[in-house]
Amino acid sequence: MNIKLYLKENIIKNFLIILLAGLAFPFFSKKLGGVEPNQMNDLLLILSMLLVTASFANFAFTFEKTKMQKTGQRWLSYFATFIYMLLFALILEALMIAVEIVYPSLNSIIILFTVLLYIGLVFYDFWDLERASQ
């Protein structure tokens, strides 16, 4: 198996996710800034439920079940994880912005938690790919 190729493809996938999430941040910031403060707690609850759903979908998927040498299967796996991880990143962004609006004093803690959570997700993605490539 060509682990170097798979790692390169996965790096590109993760770079695109971070790029798209970064581009979406100003849009989310503007839209969430317009939410009434008394509705923000409901929004936080909805976002939390969506995050759990995205987490379940992402962690239920595994590259181990993919025949990595088959290009079509490999790319379908990349697209699936791309969607799950992008959704995860966008929900984390929205949560971070919403918490900043409702609880401004917790902003730095939420940013730290968000960054660590996403880094863990990326490490899991690479670990799962590495495991499947053996």
| Distance, first Cα to last Cα, the chain | 7
What's the pTM? Answer: 0.91
pLDDT at 76 over 80: yes
Task: Check: CB of residue 11 under 8 Å from CB of residue 73.
Answer: no
pLDDT at 1 over 70: no
Report the C-alpha gap between 60 and 29 in whole angstroms.
Answer: 30
pLDDT at 133 over 80: yes
**What's the confidence (pLDDT) of residue 115?**
96
CA-CA-CA-CA torsion sign (50, 56, 57, 63): positive
pLDDT, tens digit, 9 for 90 and up, residues 3-26: 999 999 999 999 999 999 999 999
pLDDT, tens digit, 9 for 90 and up, residues 86-125: 999 999 999 999 999 989 999 999 999 999 999 999 999 9
Task: Check: CB of residue 28 under 8 Å from CB of residue 93.
Answer: yes
pLDDT, tens digit, 9 for 90 and up, residues 23-72: 999 999 999 989 888 898 899 999 999 999 999 998 898 998 999 999 99
* Token pair in block for residue 71: 């290009």
Task: Check: CB of residue 66 under 8 Å from CB of residue 73.
Answer: yes
Q: Which helix (H) or strand (E) holds 68?
A: none
**What's the confidence (pLDDT) of residue 51?**
94
Report the C-alpha gap between 33 and 28 in whole angstroms.
Answer: 8
**What's the confidence (pLDDT) of residue 9?**
96
